[in-house]
Structure 1
């Protein structure tokens, strides 16, 4: 069985200043047409809204576009104002205008029927001046070279439509896979960048179920502690992922922000904007590196499931005001790493499993009970049987065990599901449960 996914690549456009102006003019002209079309579609929505998707675009074209079979369209303004407008650009604008009006009418009907966030909410408004971008249909609006290092794009120079050739860089590897189907890209031109947003339809093969999972404990002292747990409770691989160089670079900038804030009186909006931006970019890079390493380990061991704690919406409370612990929690990457890993792994056919975090870090993996953290070293923990062990490694074992129990249905009475809506299993599952209850698997 093959699953189809759509992923989008960003191909940077290499163009001269004059070419960028032409691309910008093309986007502006496309938006002007959309703005005019929104009013026409909304006026005739009682008729257009009843048609199916294939009939809506020809119905709108009949209202605005003059042809030999349609010599007198109702709105002749479009032929004068948008003279020689390419047909595929026009149909893309009509499609977007139909979606905009359809969304508005749906929200307006809900508002009229009383479905509102607040009873005194204002009615929704139809936004005709929207920031859309033109789609580039293959052969009509864009022509890629064989090596995909350049492309010819149809642009508007202010008077007429013409073709220009621009360079393309920043490819990823999706276009090299013959099984991936490239769809029509979008031309994105704004103050920050000029690129093509290229979607690919990806055929993802179905993974075979394996007898092991990859569990990851995302922490503060160690970015990710990884374990490969087999269904019988044995551990095949352990690894600590902690890009210390990048973390030091990020923390160095955060300390500069703290020092600058201590020397400043009242902080204004935009304070230390550049340092915050650089620290955020480094954080994003850390998330990319850690997620890529997790996917690489899963591919190496042929694992289908990657298990994380379900921490969405959880807000840590720790540290006094102006303490470093509060700042470290603020830069914790638990959600970013989970999201990036899920996007990368699902594209390859894998799956991410989320388990209840309760008890994973506070109970020993060997079933001896609660553990105590070392006062001098937070990474170490002492079990009830006096065993000294890495706390994050023990937590990763428990996360993997919970993931296995969840995948196997959690039929054991120790991990039964209750009426609560929290993720299963609800008990404090530990790795030792896989040793003593093999029959549930």
Structure 2
């Protein structure tokens, strides 16, 4: 181990003194008044109310103690007491500056009272001064860094030791050790309270971030599933176009050469579009979903869905207007199926056993989809806690509605049930693969 020279020791000592002075003179940045960021008005005013109450009790008792115990004249006793207690107000927004004023007043008080006869009081500091200093240190510990708190306590120990041992005509009593012990306890208490508050704030922020991420992930997953299903729907129509265009010259007699070339070009464009669409949307298909080749469900499959829910213990009735199955486009029918599917799944999870009614009807150019469930039977245990889910089913419904520029209305009913009503235009947008963005 390298031996330290006198120059090295001086260098390290100066560096420690500079760090010590820096922490005593540089407050933490971005100070706002204590509880100043609270949304409640009474909480923002609470520190000032507490400080005023303490001043109202400490100033009279402090003056009376200095006058009665040391015989100080009233102006001097009042000046020392006010200088010691008024920093409590300043500590709400500038605790380090308040500490400097309070510490300087402690030294001045000890120097002045040491030259007066003591009439049964404590020296060098009275009880009101010690209480004022301790409360100020608590406010300081709630606002400043750990290094600053250690520096303040070290400075307190140094000031009390120098005050009671150097250059004064009187030896201190037990108040010196009492001040050191109470100051350390106050700083430690404030430090612990502040760390706990910071930990709770960080935990709350993390919970909010996690909730936001869950909602965002649910939205992205639903959009990805919609995109995959749209790919299948659009691919079906593009395939029909390609087949019809390619076979037209053979099915139609005496097709002019120019028209045959046009049909060939249309078929080629359709095939290229299919290939490009599969390349662009291929990333949305995972290895597990890459083999999904079954036809997409629609209004015609709602009867099977309702029957499946009935086997799960939810008595459901389905009503579909005559001729509606054939009139609903495939994209709209898929959105209606998914909305009913999610609504029935919510009934199974949150209101098991509740009677449910599903109805589909047309209102001019729109498809009306309504799912209404009654209140669950009494003493029926909800599956909400036992069934694992994202809790974001309404997000998927809204995405389905946005897909076809429709409207969605959901909410509880007065009898304890729940209603989901969607209005889906039967003439969807020209580009259904680009949902219209809306803001809530």
Normalized against structure 1, the TM-score is what? 0.23
Normalized against structure 2, the TM-score is what? 0.23
Which structure is larger by alpha-carbon Rg, 1 or 2? 2
Task: Name the structure where strand makes up a greater proportion of residues.
Answer: 1
Task: Name the structure where helix makes up a greater proportion of residues.
Answer: 2
